[in-house]
Amino acid sequence: MISIHRTLAVARKETWHVVRDTRSLYLALGIPVMLLFLFGYALSLDVDNIPLAVWDQERSPQSRELIDRLTSSGYFRLVLYADSFQEMVRAVDERVVTVSITIPYDFTRNVLRTGGADIQAFLDASDSTRAGIAITYFESILAIFLDDHFKKELARQAVTKVQIPLEPRVRLLYNPELQSRINIIPGLIAIILMVIAALITSQTIVRERESGTMEQLISTPVKASELVIGKLVPYFVLGYVDLLVVYLMSQFVFAVPFRGSVLLMFLLSALFLVGSLSLGLLISAFADSQLFATQFALLGTFLPSFILSGFVFPIANMPSVIQAFSYIVPARYYITILRGIYLKGVGLEVLLFPVILLAFFGLITAFLASTRLGKQLQ
């Protein structure tokens, strides 16, 4: 039977530790803000302003219009108007430009006659992701340009009906402008909470041992479950403060749309916080020093959460062994919940599976932490 009185006594004692240790407060409240600013502004998957070199052999109104469409799209930035093939290749080699294109002498004639044209393009593929996206942008702009001019030529020739075999009409849901910030910020909340929660609680038990107060706890009638709950309560409140700060910043600093229920997000975040805090407590129970606890908590939470949660790198593109390993990363399910609530506005009926897995994670880590501390209190 858990004693409320003993649990509150432990919680009160741990609260005094937090209040008196200003470094822990700076760590818990300052780092989330710093990480959000750093990742929110620095980490961007948007590919735009791509440096472009052009060798326009034809120099016709149509070729100049194509160049204008490329540069006015916002995806390309003309930095070199070349006069030779060697000049374009050298610009790519020296990383002055990412894309070099050659507009041939018969460009306009081919466009008006056949609706197609051969344009030679060189891309710096040392950054394969950026090069792949640049190809997609270039092909899309070129296809629209060719289609517009071919239709104009057919209309000029009094051809009124043009049979188009397939004309896709794409509707982008949840993030129509394809801004990476809107996708990153909800996932970043999970990374911040995971790291901070495990980091601040990883000091609790090992600090008791190093200061010599662990023996005093052993001599008291406090139980392991009461010790776990009592130590988690102040950090749970602190975690909710971090969540509130990050949520407000996402709304008023980064203008990320929020389409779901704020209450549901805060309620489901409790499952993730309990699991993350219990994980830090478990690390503290095994650690021999505060330095080791800090290093292990940072290494064991940040890297898996950042790489294997789907935050930046799609899990579907990973090898099957790594995909299987990602199922034990709790941030994967919390990010799914946050993006579902933030961007899609879905409810609990859609998020039930990740919610169950988060609850299971919280119960397992809390049980393991309680079991480990129970052995140390005996």
> Alpha-carbon torsion 154, 158, 162, 168, what sign?
positive
Choice among 271-275, 291-295, 341-345 with the minimum mean pLDDT:
291-295
pLDDT in tens, 302-328: 888 988 998 888 888 888 999 999 999
Least confident of 69-78, 150-159, 299-308: 150-159
With a CB cutoff of 8 Å and minimum separation 6, the contacts of 239 are: 193, 196, 197, 273, 276, 277
Reported pTM: 0.79
Lowest mean pLDDT among 21-30, 57-66, 339-348: 21-30
Percentage of the chain lying above the pLDDT 90 cut: 20
| Sequence spans of domains, the chain | 4-44+179-377, 50-156
Which range, 12-16, 25-29, 147-151, 165-169, has the best average confidence (pLDDT)?
12-16
CATH number for 50-156 (one of 3.30.300.30, 1.10.274.50, 3.40.1710.10, 3.40.50.11310): it is 3.40.1710.10
Higher pLDDT, 307 or 160: 307
Phi, psi of 197, rounded to the nearest 5 degrees: -60, -45
Whether residue 100 contacts residue 53, with contact meaning beta carbons closer than 8 Å, is answered with yes
Q: What is the radius of gyration, based on Cα positions, of the chain?
A: 29
